[in-house]
């Protein structure tokens, strides 16, 4: 599904107005000069794309002779890598929803619904690194939902997170507290130490290669605080509200409609949010922090996809309960609808 959804983005996107994509394409060729500090240390996806591009470049011209060699093989490699990584994130959403009580069919339908977001098409089809960060969030939420037996997922989160995005450290306290059932604190600290060590090594390598002072990273991180005022004003505007509400498209309406139906029914039954608690509230707070620091409302808001997918899956699982009981409560029908 992702390959179909993201293919037009991969083929037709206009790179002239996207400095982020051009930066990651340069990084995949080993060039770190003139790359913004915000991007230059997120090397995992560009390195993977560069590795995939080696065999792809040998056959690309034979399959698509009408396209010049240039960046096309590398763009295809990013497309393939990001589709695979984001598919892994979606698998985490599905399994987290199952752990929270959704049926297999409902969890699959919710997962596919969340993947119809335009932000999934961006993350999968363009030379970006968002897919890896979405995988980190997906693995973290799955590990918290599963608890015992998900230590491997939390280990991957703490190893990959620091290199996926610098703001990952906002997620670390949440992982340490709610993930202790999946992985004990000493093991979490050990995994995080490995991730931070890898990040430090990448910083040293890149900074030495381009001759950049190490203080640039700290200065860049502090400069993001200036985005908070802008993000608050934007989120309070009609355009900003529309951007937030449209993250998951029309599927966003399913949750409030289900909650409204739930309030109308007279008997007790399954609730849309019956399984949710402090982990989900905490994750909402972390995503809000990302939104306000980045200023990119929709793109960062898509990080809440694991929780939204679970909520949507629970609605799809119990839709007969919501629909039948709400109608029976209104007195319009005397028999439930099959």
pLDDT digits (tens, 9 = 90+) for 43-102: 999 999 999 999 988 887 777 777 666 788 899 999 999 999 999 999 999 999 999 999
Under the banding of pLDDT at 50, 70 and 90, the label for residue 38 is confident
Q: Would you say residue 335 lies in a domain?
A: no
Query: Is 15 within a domain?
Result: yes
Residue ranges making up the domain that contains 56: 2-330
> Which residues 6+ apart lie within 8 Å of 323 measured at CB?
261, 337
Q: Is residue 321 part of a domain?
A: yes
| Residue 338 domain-assigned (yes or no) | no
pLDDT value, residue 337:
44
The answer, yes or no, to whether residue 115 has pLDDT greater than 80, is: yes
Q: List pLDDT tens digits, range 289-337.
A: 999 888 788 899 999 999 999 999 999 998 766 655 544 455 544 444 4
Contact call for residues 191 and 154 (beta carbons, < 8 A): yes
Q: What is the largest CA-CA distance in the chain?
A: 76
DSSP E strand stretches across the chain: none
Average pLDDT over residues 153-166: 95
Give the Å distances, CA to CA, from 223 to 40, 216, 298: 16, 10, 21
* Predicted TM-score (pTM) above 0.85: yes
Residue 337 maps to a domain: no
Share of the chain above pLDDT 70, in %: 86
Side-chain half-sphere CA neighbours of 195 within 13 A = 25
Whole-number average pLDDT of the chain: 86
Nearest to 263 by CA among 273, 248, 251: 273
**Is residue 216 in a domain?**
yes
What is residue 97's DSSP assignment? Answer: H
| Range 210-228 average pLDDT | 64
Whether residue 189 lies inside any domain: the answer is yes
Number of domains into which the chain is organized: 1
Residue 273 CA: distances (Å) to CA of 104, 239, 284, 315 = 18, 28, 14, 9
- Whether residue 270 is predicted with pLDDT greater than 60 in this model: the reply is no
Per-residue model confidence (pLDDT) at position 64: 75
Backbone CA torsion sign across 5, 6, 12, 14: positive
* Per-residue confidence (pLDDT) for residue 198, from 0 to 100: 95
For 252, the token pair is 């966003």
What angle in degrees, to the nearest 10, is found between the helix axes of 72-99 and 44-63?
Answer: 120
Average pLDDT (99-109) is 94
Is the predicted pLDDT of residue 30 greater than 60, yes or no? Answer: yes
Q: Is residue 235 part of a domain?
A: yes
């Amino acid at each position: 599904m992702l390959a179909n959804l993201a293919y037009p983005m991969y083929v037709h996107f206009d790179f002239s107005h996207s400095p982020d994509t051009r930066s990651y394409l340069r990084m995949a060729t080993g060039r770190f000069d003139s790359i913004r500090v915000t991007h230059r240390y997120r090397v995992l996806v560009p390195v993977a794309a560069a590795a995939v591009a080696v065999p792809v470049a040998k056959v690309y011209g034979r399959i698509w002779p009408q396209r010049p060699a240039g960046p096309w093989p590398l763009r295809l490699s990013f497309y393939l890598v990001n589709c695979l990584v984001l598919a892994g994130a979606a698998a985490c959403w599905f399994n987290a929803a199952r752990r929270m009580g959704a049926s297999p069919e409902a969890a699959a339908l919710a997962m596919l619904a969340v993947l119809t977001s335009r932000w999934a098409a961006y993350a999968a089809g363009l030379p970006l690194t968002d897919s890896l960060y979405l995988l980190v969030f997906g693995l973290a939420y799955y590990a918290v939902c599963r608890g015992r037996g998900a230590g491997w997922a939390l280990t991957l989160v703490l190893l990959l997170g620091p290199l996926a995005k610098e703001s990952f450290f906002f997620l670390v306290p949440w992982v340490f507290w709610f993930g202790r059932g999946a992985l004990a604190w000493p093991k979490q600290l050990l995994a995080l130490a490995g991730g931070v060590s890898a990040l430090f090594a990448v910083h040293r390598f890149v900074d030495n290669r381009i001759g950049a002072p190490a203080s640039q990273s700290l200065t860049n991180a502090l400069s993001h605080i200036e985005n908070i005022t802008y993000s608050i004003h934007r989120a309070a505007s009609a355009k900003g509200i529309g951007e937030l509400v449209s993250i998951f498209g029309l599927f966003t309406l399913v949750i409030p409609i289900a909650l409204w139906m739930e309030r109308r029914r007279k008997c007790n039954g399954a609730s849309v949010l019956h399984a949710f608690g402090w982990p989900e509230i905490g994750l909402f707070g972390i995503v809000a922090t990302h939104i306000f620091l980045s200023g990119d409302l929709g793109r960062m808001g898509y990080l809440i996809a694991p929780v939204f997918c679970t909520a949507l899956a629970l609605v799809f699982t119990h839709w007969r309960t919501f629909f039948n009981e709400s109608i029976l409560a209104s007195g319009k029908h005397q028999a439930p609808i099959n």
